[in-house]
Amino acid sequence: MKKAVSKMLCVVLVASTLLVGCGKNTDNKNANKTTGEVTTEKADENQEDKTEDSAVKTNLDTSKKIKMGILVSDATSAEALAFRNYYTGYIAKQYNVELIYSDELKDAAGEKSAIDTFITNNCKAVISFSSFDRLAQVAQCASAKVYYAIATGTLTETEYETYKTNEYYVGAIGPSLDVEYQTGYDMAKYYLDQGVKNFAIFGGALPYYTDMHIYRVAGMLTAMVESAGDGANYKGKTDKDSIVGQIYADGAIDTGAIGDVNLLGYVGGYDMDDAWFAKCGQMAQTTGLEVLLAVGNGSDFFGTAIEGTNVKIASVDAYASSFGDAMQAGMLDYLAGKFSASIGPIFIATYSAALGAPIRTEEGYAIALNQGYWVANSYDEFQEFYGVDSSLEAPAYTKDMLNTLLGTDYAFYSDFVSKYSFEEIIGMK
């Protein structure tokens, strides 16, 4: 049974290796997923305009409901459901907007079809959690004079240069590759500083050359090289850029000694056959293994395998109750997770643009900002984070906090977004 559930989880993950989206609305009929048809999430019909206070401040007319399309390529993961819950359970009830969700998209053709449907439905903006062809999405929306933004992701530097001056490209907020690298580095260093010497790595979509997974693993390996010292290296490489380059060249990771640190096992990809599952189980139970570092799905794939052992699992995931259960049960020791309200500021930027008050840099460029993860290394800490992250009464970013961004200048906006740690956000409340 567990194997079957794991297989389903992986299929979803592979289909959206770069970015996650939001879950289906089971109260609506969904069309065939290849059509790009949509479902709708609305604020209550009798809801009063709840942005009146901001409208007074910014002189924006919020009396007309704004339709926004939401592109998603993941409708079932814990993170995807948390994101959707924040938008539909909180944002749609606070602002005069109608959110129209796509079905779970499987390819670029589905993205195009969904955007066509959004345009037909008079959407003034699109927020994307799908990444099969970002450039095509930007171009399609700009051609239709529809504002477009990326949630929980970024464009490459080259892509950004191409579209940063386009008035309909709002921008993107999410973990940059540098943030992904640092996330992997900090995860490994946390254990290296405790004297741990024996590791294994689950590389996720690394064999498919998914950038964020490659950079997370590169951070882990660099931390090991630096901790070992005295000429230690990974395949002759000793710094971030050279290790990243080596992983791209190999499409895999070599096990073995890195100075006095031992990489005892590596599994990558999502083959999902019996041999692959056997390899995962074997790695988790390797003699002498102390910590298994996972770019994602750590407790999902390896939690049962480490039962009865002293192996600890560290993973990049989300703040969902299932991961709290895994921490409490000793199946997860360290979690770097996105918080669901992190998608609040990009909504405000998109909404503000649709109202006629775009937030741009001093040069007039689109938004390009980083946000990282909340890190919990105990069940109590997880519970503290989860209590805020899962709340629809007082989420991490409340309406009052987000209202300060509506129609504001870029300097204030970017400063707000940069303060994304749990402590900083709580301090702003």
228 and 166 in a single domain? The answer is no
Going by C-alpha positions, the residue among 301, 291, 240, 316 that lies closest to residue 269 is 301
Considering the domain boundaries, does residue 6 fall inside one?
Answer: no
Considering the domain boundaries, does residue 377 fall inside one?
Answer: no
Helix axes 410-418, 344-354, angle to 10 degrees: 160
| 8 A C-beta contact, residue 333 and residue 306 | no
Look at residue 39 in the predicted model and tell me its pLDDT.
52
Look at residue 429 in the predicted model and tell me its pLDDT.
85
194 and 334 in a single domain? The answer is yes
Considering the domain boundaries, does residue 381 fall inside one?
Answer: no
| 8 A C-beta contact, residue 79 and residue 320 | yes
**Residue 149 belongs to a domain with what CATH number?**
3.40.50.2300
Q: Which residues contact 149 (CB under 8 A, 6 or more apart)?
A: 125, 126, 127, 128, 169, 170, 171, 172, 346, 349, 350, 367
Look at residue 59 in the predicted model and tell me its pLDDT.
77
C-alpha to C-alpha distances, 156 to 162, 179, 273, nearest whole angstrom: 10, 14, 34
168 and 290 in a single domain? The answer is no
Considering the domain boundaries, does residue 207 fall inside one?
Answer: yes
Single-letter amino acid code for the residue at 251: G
Euclidean distance between CA atoms 13 and 205, whole angstroms: 9
Considering the domain boundaries, does residue 379 fall inside one?
Answer: no
115 and 238 in a single domain? The answer is no
Which domain, by its residues, includes 67? Answer: 12-176+341-372+396-428
265 and 155 in a single domain? The answer is no
Considering the domain boundaries, does residue 333 fall inside one?
Answer: yes
231 and 101 in a single domain? The answer is no
| pTM of the shown model | 0.82
31 and 150 in a single domain? The answer is yes
Count of domains in the chain? 2
108 and 230 in a single domain? The answer is no
17-76 pLDDT, tens per residue?
433 333 333 333 333 333 344 555 544 444 444 444 444 345 789 999 999 999 999 888
334 and 349 in a single domain? The answer is no
43 and 170 in a single domain? The answer is yes
Residue 41: helix, strand or coil by DSSP? Answer: strand
* Number of Cβ within a 10 Å radius of residue 239: 13
φ, ψ of residue 44 in degrees (nearest 5): -55, 140
Please give the torsion angle defined by the CA atoms of residues 12, 16, 21 and 23, in that order, rounded to the nearest 10 degrees. -20
Q: Which of 290, 315, 338 is the last residue of a domain?
A: 338
328 and 348 in a single domain? The answer is no
Low-confidence ranges of the chain (pLDDT < 70): 1-58
Look at residue 287 in the predicted model and tell me its pLDDT.
97
Considering the domain boundaries, does residue 192 fall inside one?
Answer: yes
207 and 329 in a single domain? The answer is yes
Considering the domain boundaries, does residue 100 fall inside one?
Answer: yes
